């Protein structure tokens, strides 16, 4: 199980670095399929910060889950990830939008 966690966490970190470096806009769901008019409404630099940071925060949370983790702890980690994702979506739809 630990090997899977390391692989998934490493993938998340690599994707976060690519996005934060400005080379991975096509990895951001919704932004990559948006029309040019919709893309013009988004501050892409801020969107990169939000999504990249989210991925960097979620990656270490995966290490809280292993074969020895009891169900309440696993559910708590899942809830934390869901809340973080919801907060990131709210920030992406407010702070990352052009006025």
Residue 27 lies inside a defined structural domain of this protein: yes
Residue 23 lies inside a defined structural domain of this protein: yes
Residue 47 lies inside a defined structural domain of this protein: yes
As given in the structure block, the two tokens for residue 21 are 């470096």
Q: By residue range, what is the domain housing residue 68?
A: 2-94
The pLDDT averaged over each successive group of 10 residues in the chain (99 residues) is 84 97 92 92 96 96 77 87 96 91
Residue 43 lies inside a defined structural domain of this protein: yes
- The total of structural domains in the chain comes to 1
Contacts of 9 (CB under 8 A, 6+ apart): 59, 60, 62, 63
What is residue 1's predicted lDDT score, i.e. its pLDDT?
60
Residue 99 lies inside a defined structural domain of this protein: no
Residue 86 lies inside a defined structural domain of this protein: yes
Contacts of 3-8 with C-beta under 8 Å, sequence gap 24+, read 5/62, 5/63, 5/65, 5/66, 8/62
What is residue 67's predicted lDDT score, i.e. its pLDDT?
65
């Amino acid at each position: 199980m630990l090997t899977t966690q390391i692989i998934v966490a490493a993938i998340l970190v690599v994707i976060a670095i690519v996005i934060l470096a400005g080379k991975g806009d096509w990895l951001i769901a919704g932004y990559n399929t948006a029309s040019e008019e919709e893309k013009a409404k988004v501050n892409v630099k801020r969107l990169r910060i939000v999504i990249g940071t989210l991925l960097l925060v979620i990656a270490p949370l995966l290490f809280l889950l292993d074969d020895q983790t009891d169900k309440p702890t696993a559910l708590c980690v899942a809830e934390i990830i869901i809340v973080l994702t919801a907060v990131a979506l709210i920030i992406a739809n407010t702070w990352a939008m052009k006025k």
